[in-house]
Structure 1
Amino acid sequence: MCRLTAARREKHLPDRPDFDPSTLVIHSNRSYEKQSNSILFPIHQTATYIHESVGVTKGYGYSRGANPTVNALEQAIAAIEGTENALCFRSGMSAITTLCLSMLKAGDHVVLSDVIYGGTSRLFHQVLGNFGIEYTFANTASVEDTEKAIKPNTRLLFLETPANPTLKLSDVRALSDMAHSHKDILVAVDNTFLTPLLQNCLNLGADVSMLSTTKYIDGHNATIGGSLATHNTALVERMRLVRKTIGSIQPPFDAWLALQGVKTLPARLAMHCSNAMAVATWLEQHPMVHKVNYPGLDSFPQKALAEKQQTGFGGMLSFELEANTVDSLHFIDALRLCTCAESLGSVETLVTNPATASHCDLPLEQREQLGIPDRLIRLSVGLESPKDLIKDFEQAFAATFNGNAAGSGE
């Protein structure tokens, strides 16, 4: 029988171990429940906490401010981000909102990637802009174009790379160096598509790494959540205050589920990357496919940048068919194994049409300028066998185009 005590466990598992990712996600910064020695950290589904005496607590007073289960997930995310500071939120959008409310005021200016998640655009267009926060969308694939968008009142450069849904990349190191050469500008990166295991934005010079934990961190379509990580302790305390004030902390049950999901993140990411490469390669060779956007393909114009700042190409891709919009949407409807649904990063392969989903608020002309036409199809490649996914594409091509475009083989 193993008689390793809690004290010895903590001694053998230091706070900042030099573990490989597969070990890191399971053991690093791990918290243990002391009463029963449960191997899983428990769900603290509570609103409030008993004070040992007036003004004396065990660090928790009210779950709107902090919760032990949420804190356990924060420690796990901080470990993979390579920092001491991470906070978890009710959604990725609540994380972005909390970041903006923490560091911006009326009259401040933000530069955003031109190709970015539609919800982020909506936040600035329909919410923050009403409070006097200025913003400019820039082609962040170009350092020069991005610098031209900076103003004397710019306080934040918010990047998304790879971008949703075109996979366009931004050079995090170069953009961070440029932004930091100006006064009082912080750099935040939406790293949802890759996670810090495939692209560590803080190591590349960014000030804040943002994740929608709904996606690859959870990995099972079970929760909604978001996280922010930073080396800036003053900023994290400010964000903690704002989170407590507006009530955007992640619920404990969602945090507990995400805490289980993160343990398999390296294994899942390896399969996502391998499967996505197989599917992207097959699609690119198909006669009915006009274009495939995937950073792992030689045809991807920024593949060299992907190889420089990423350790994997990810599980996301998008593509256009040699077809009109109506037939492209019929193709999505004809898929049987691939599930038509919003979100991404789960074990199931999900397919969606950004024009009618994530980017439906953008006008057609703007979407087309950004490379998001009505016929664009976004694919989150899951953990199914690539052979089975390809068979599903073959039957969808046959069903959509009357058998005139059968698959070109495996």
Structure 2
Amino acid sequence: MADQNEYLPQPQGFATTAIHAFQDPEQWDSMAVVTPMVASTTFKHYDPENFKKYEYSRCGNPNRDVLENCLATLDNGKYGVCWSSGLGAATAVLNMFTVGDHIICGDDIYGSTNMLFRQVCSQFGLELTFAEANNIESAIKTNTKLIWVESLTNPTMKVFDIKSIAEIAHKNKILLAVDSTFVTPYFQRPLNFGADLVIHSISKYINGHTDVIMGVTITNNEGIYKKLKFLQTVMGIVPAPFDCYQVTRSIKTLALRMKQHMKNSLEVGQFLEKHPKVEKVLHPGLPSHPQHELFKKQSSGCSGMLSFYLKGGLAESKKFFDSLETFTLAGSLGGYESLVELPSLMSHDCIPEDQRRVLKITDNLVRMSVGLEDTEDLIKDLKKALEKV
């Protein structure tokens, strides 16, 4: 395992905050230690113009409030707004802008986010430019309003320099949004480096149990928060109370889970680097990653995410997947179970082929979400499968 001292210090009190923030039992009449699940869609008024706190569950719900406030605190933010999915969060952010506004997006992002930006932005009348990290400043126009990047990109594991991009954005009076799904607030807090917005697909590591679809936006900017809160109410992209209840439960073990994901993924990555059937490993926590030093400057550690290139092509990839037993061939990531997928035919098949070629999303690029199983079993499974390639 990498020397933790090489990274930023771990956030102090993270696990305590995740367990207790905004969850004081004395706020409930029952004094329940676990936040009660409130399924009611509507709430009684004192009279037509007055109600106690909640009016209608789309506008506000006790379970959602607890989760939003706790998640904001974990990311060192003031305001959190939860959505029914990670893409719902992205959709809401896009709706902050208007016809004629220009958005710059990092070149390597989740396939469905790419499709949302390419195919839906144009219907909104928004202009869009995809740009590499080194070309973001040159892509700025007079009507640029937003820069959107992933802090660790999906699936080629590029690292964007959040602080440098934030300085460029603010110099030009542009907002910076950072999708930090792959790293989580336990390992990275983009607001600390100048980001205006942090986005997470809660469906992944934050929930961590592969049983909830949800997203969140977090900010310290009151104006942005008010816009997003308004959009949450009028667009209705809201998560269910039970899902919020589930995630509030899940984040209590986030620190423990992320430590183990990091340990497991580093051991798996080190094994893959030495294997003769593997062409290249992309893991920001390994010294072989070209941006390893940058990653350490803005992170406290790494998650279970890595990608690697098999020697060969589609036929070899299929042989590899067919031979796995402990790893599951499936989309998504960040759960306790280890998953693998082929981005070119799965998560990123919606990206135009010419763009996939530029990004090197080839038929031998395997994306891996290393879970919480015993590492010895994971490596044994990989070794057996690679022998069949």
For Structure 1 versus Structure 2, the TM-score category normalised by the shorter chain is over 0.9
CA distance in 1, matches of 2:31, 2:146: 44
Render the CA deviation track for 1:17-39: whole Å, top value 9, x for unaligned: x9511211111232435222211
**How far, CA to CA, are the matches of 1:325 and 1:62 in structure 2?**
51
Aligned counterpart, 2:8: none
Aligned position for 2:166: 176
User: Which of 148, 154, 164 is equivalent to 1:158?
Assistant: 148
In the alignment, what sits opposite 1:105? 98
Give the drift of 1:333.
Answer: 2.1
Amino acid at match of 1:97: T
1: CA distance, partners of 2:305 / 2:12? 27
Q: How far apart in 1 are the matches of 2:106 and 2:262?
A: 24
> Matches of 1:114 and 1:361 in 2, distance apart?
14
| 1:120 counterpart = 2:110 | no
Task: Kindly state the Cα deviation for residue 46 of structure 1 after the two structures are TM-superposed.
Answer: 1.4
**Higher RCO (C-alpha 8 Å, min separation 6):** 2
Please show how residues 33-52 of structure 1 align to structure 2 within 5 Å.
34-52=28-46
- Alignment partner of 1:192 is 2:186: no
Match of 2:225 among 225, 231, 236: 236
- Structure-1 separation of matches of 2:85 and 2:251: 16
Dislocated runs of 4+, deviation >3 Å: none
- Distance in 2, matches of 1:341 and 1:254, equals 22
Amino acid at match of 1:158: W
**1:78 is matched by which residue type in structure 2?**
A
Contact 1:31/1:72 (<8 A) preserved = no
Cα distance change, pair 385–154 in 1 and its aligned pair in 2 (3 A): same
Q: Which amino acid is 1:114 matched to? A: D
2:67 paired with 1:73: yes
> Which residue of structure 2 aligns with residue 383 of structure 1?
372
Query: Where in structure 2 are there 5+ consecutive unaligned residues?
Result: 1-10
**1:25 aligned residue:** 18
Residue 52 of structure 1 aligns to a residue whose secondary structure is: strand
Pick one of 56, 61, 79 that aligns with 1:62.
56
Match of 1:313 among 296, 302, 310: 302
Counterpart of 1:373 in 2: which secondary structure? Answer: coil
Q: In structure 1, what is the equivalent of residue 4 of structure 2? A: none
SS of 2:190's equivalent? Answer: coil
How far residue 54 of structure 1 moved from its aligned partner, in angstroms, is: 2.4
Maintained 8 Å contact 2:24/2:33:
no
| Residue 231 to residue 380, structure 1, CA distance change in 2 (3 Å) | same
Deviation at residue 44 of structure 1 after TM alignment: 1.1
Contact 1:29 1:79 in 2 (8 A): no
Of stretches 116-125 and 198-207 in structure 1, the one that deviates more from structure 2 is 116-125
Q: CA deviation at 1:352?
A: 0.6
1:297 corresponds, among 270, 278, 286, to 286
2:92 aligned with 1:85 = no
CA distance in structure 2 between the aligned counterparts of 1:19 and 1:56, rounded to whole angstroms:
41
Separation (CA, whole Å) in 1 of partners of 2:175 and 2:364: 36
- One-letter amino acid of the counterpart of residue 70, structure 1: R
Shift of 1:81: 1.0
Query: Distance between the aligned counterparts of 1:64 and 1:347, measured in 2?
Result: 31
SS of residue paired to 2:193: coil
Q: Which residue of 1 aligns with 2:3?
A: none
- Checking the alignment, whether the CA contact within 8 Å between 2:306 and 2:369 is kept in structure 1 is yes
SS in 2 for 1:263: helix
Contact 1:112–1:138 (Cα < 8 Å) also in 2? yes
Question: Match of 1:121, SS?
Answer: helix
| Native 8 Å contact 1:158 1:189 kept in 2 | yes
* Residue equivalent to 1:405: none
**2:351 pairs with 1:362:** yes
Residue-by-residue CA offset, 1:173-213 (whole Å, 9 max, x unaligned): 00000110003x10000000011111100001000000000
Structure of higher CA gyration radius: 1
> How many aligned positions are there?
378
| 1:136 match: secondary structure | strand
- 1:71 alignment partner, SS class: helix
User: More displaced, 238-247 or 363-372?
Assistant: 363-372
Cα offsets for 1:41-97 (capped at 9, x unmatched):
111111111012221112211111111111111111011011220010000000011
Matches of 2:52 and 2:349, distance apart in 1:
47
Q: Which position in structure 2 is the counterpart of 1:270?
A: 259
Contact persistence 2:311–2:364 (CA under 8 A): no
Unaligned runs of 5+ residues in structure 1 are 1-17, 402-410
> Percent sequence identity over matched residues?
39
Distance 2:301 2:12 in 1: 19
1:364·1:373 contact (CA, 8 Å) conserved in 2? no
Equivalent residue of 1:355, what SS? Answer: coil
TM-score w.r.t. the length of structure 1 is 0.90
Q: Does 1:146 align with 2:136?
A: yes
> Partners of 1:261 and 1:50 in 2: how far apart?
31
In the alignment, is residue 373 of structure 1 matched against residue 367 of structure 2?
no
Aligned residue number for residue 131 of structure 1: 124
1:204 pairs with 193, 210, 218, which one? Answer: 193
Given that 1:88 and 1:228 are in contact with CA atoms closer than 8 Å, whether structure 2 keeps it comes out as: yes
